[in-house]
């Protein structure tokens, strides 16, 4: 019971551990190079061809776009769901890349403070959306905590085998090795099962920003912009204010209270007129 409560209380630590944030920078770089960099470059090869053609607009650009557009479109949808588009943003785990891709999705609207904005948007979601998100989040946490316990049992079995190497029979040592290998494989399988669930959670997070970001904007006392460019400029200012409180001075933000005055004015008590009523003189 204590271990279960401890695991439940260390939710953020467990997730960040499996994302790879606690690894040494050199180990992170090595794992990204070995397992993810080449695969990522192959996935975005056609995407880069189309992006470069759109950027340079050379005489052959139209032919390049027509040739690779369909493949780039399909690759873009796959890459954007499973990993960041930029190579320098890759993390040393599949789960980390899936979650980072969902964190970066709101940036297309100008929401560069994705995680900080999510903590505000999540409290405004309708009950049905919040319930589905909570269910998927609990599924991921259950799988990751189970995987972590399996890894700990694997390590414990190895320690017991090494400590008793000179005092126990060979059968006992072999049994501990089999327990360690079995628990390690079970832990890795449980981790792999969490990745598709994380992709589903990422899709729900993307849908939440698509559908309900204007509700958050209204709660921040801003009216809905009339164009995407205006929305991006506004969210960039708000994101900068939330992260830095505007202290860096790069993107100044002025709050608007028009909506607040509008809603408050409906509840303000009406003042009674101080003028006395005029009585008509009756002849």
Instruction: Summarize pLDDT for 225-275 with one digit per residue, the tens.
Output: 999 999 999 999 899 888 888 787 777 776 666 544 544 444 445 444 444
pLDDT at position 49: 87
pLDDT at position 257: 61
Lowest average pLDDT, out of 43-47, 50-54, 174-178, goes to 50-54
What angle, rounded to 10 degrees, do the helices at 11-19 and 2-9 form?
A: 70
Answer whether 208's CB lies under 8 Å from 129's CB: yes
Lowest average pLDDT, out of 20-24, 101-105, 208-212, 245-249, goes to 245-249
Lowest average pLDDT, out of 171-175, 212-216, 275-279, goes to 275-279
- Kindly report the three-state secondary structure assignment for every residue of the chain: CHHHHHHHHCHHHHHHHHHCCCCCHHHHHHHHHHHHHHHHHHHCHHHHHHHHHHHHCCCCHHHHHHHHHHHHHHHHHHHHHHCCCCHHHCCCCHHHHHHHHHHHHHHHHCCCCHHHHHHHHHHHCCHHHHHHHHHHHHHHHHHHHHHHHHHHHHHHHHHHHHHCCCCCCHHHHHHHHHHHHHHHHHHHHHHHHHHHHHHHHHHHHHHHHHHHHHHHHHHCCCCCCCCHHHHHHHHHHHHHHHHHCCCCCCCCCCCCCHHHHHHHHCCCCCCCCCCCCCCCCCC
pLDDT at position 258: 56
pLDDT at position 92: 96
Cα separation, 41 vs 83, whole angstroms: 12
Query: Considering just the CA atoms, what is the radius of gyration of the chain in Å?
Result: 28
Cα separation, 222 vs 236, whole angstroms: 13
Q: State how far the alpha carbon of 153 is from the alpha carbons of 85, 114, 149, in Å.
A: 37, 36, 6
Mean pLDDT over the full length of the chain: 85
Q: How many residues in the chain?
A: 283
Lowest average pLDDT, out of 2-6, 10-14, 53-57, goes to 2-6
Instruction: Summarize pLDDT for 141-173 with one digit per residue, the tens.
Output: 999 999 999 999 999 999 998 888 777 677 888
Does position 279 have pLDDT exceeding 80, yes or no?
no
Angle at alpha carbon of residue 233, lines to 227 and 235, rounded to 5°: 100
pLDDT at position 263: 46
Lowest average pLDDT, out of 66-70, 125-129, 194-198, 272-276, goes to 272-276
Instruction: Summarize pLDDT for 71-120 with one digit per residue, the tens.
Output: 999 999 889 899 998 999 999 999 999 999 999 999 999 999 888 899 99
């Amino acid at each position: 019971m204590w271990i279960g409560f401890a695991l439940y209380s260390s939710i953020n630590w467990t997730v960040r551990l499996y994302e790879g944030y606690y690894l040494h920078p050199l180990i992170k770089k090595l794992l990204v190079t070995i397992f993810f960099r080449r695969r990522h470059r192959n996935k975005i090869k056609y995407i880069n061809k189309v992006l470069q053609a759109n950027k340079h607009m050379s005489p052959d650009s139209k032919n390049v776009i027509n040739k690779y557009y369909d493949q780039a479109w399909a690759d873009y949808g796959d890459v954007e769901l499973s990993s960041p588009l930029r190579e320098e943003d890759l993390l040393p785990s599949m789960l980390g890349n899936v979650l980072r891709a969902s964190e970066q999705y709101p940036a297309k609207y100008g929401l560069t403070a994705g995680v900080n904005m999510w903590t505000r948007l999540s409290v405004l979601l309708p009950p049905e959306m919040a319930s589905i998100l909570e269910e998927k989040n609990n599924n991921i946490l259950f799988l990751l905590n189970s995987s972590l316990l399996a890894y700990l049992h694997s390590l414990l079995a190895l320690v017991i085998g090494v400590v008793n190497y000179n005092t126990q029979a060979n059968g006992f040592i072999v049994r501990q090795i089999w327990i360690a290998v079995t628990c390690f494989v079970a832990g890795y399988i449980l981790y792999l099962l969490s990745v598709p669930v994380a992709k589903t959670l990422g899709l729900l997070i993307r849908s939440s920003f698509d559908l309900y970001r204007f509700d958050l904007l209204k709660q921040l006392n801003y009216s809905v912009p009339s164009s995407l460019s205006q929305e991006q400029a506004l969210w960039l200012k708000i994101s900068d204010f939330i992260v830095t409180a505007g202290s860096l001075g790069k993107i100044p933000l002025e709050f608007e209270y028009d909506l607040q005055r509008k809603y408050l004015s409906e509840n303000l008590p009406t003042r009674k007129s101080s003028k006395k009523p005029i009585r008509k003189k009756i002849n």
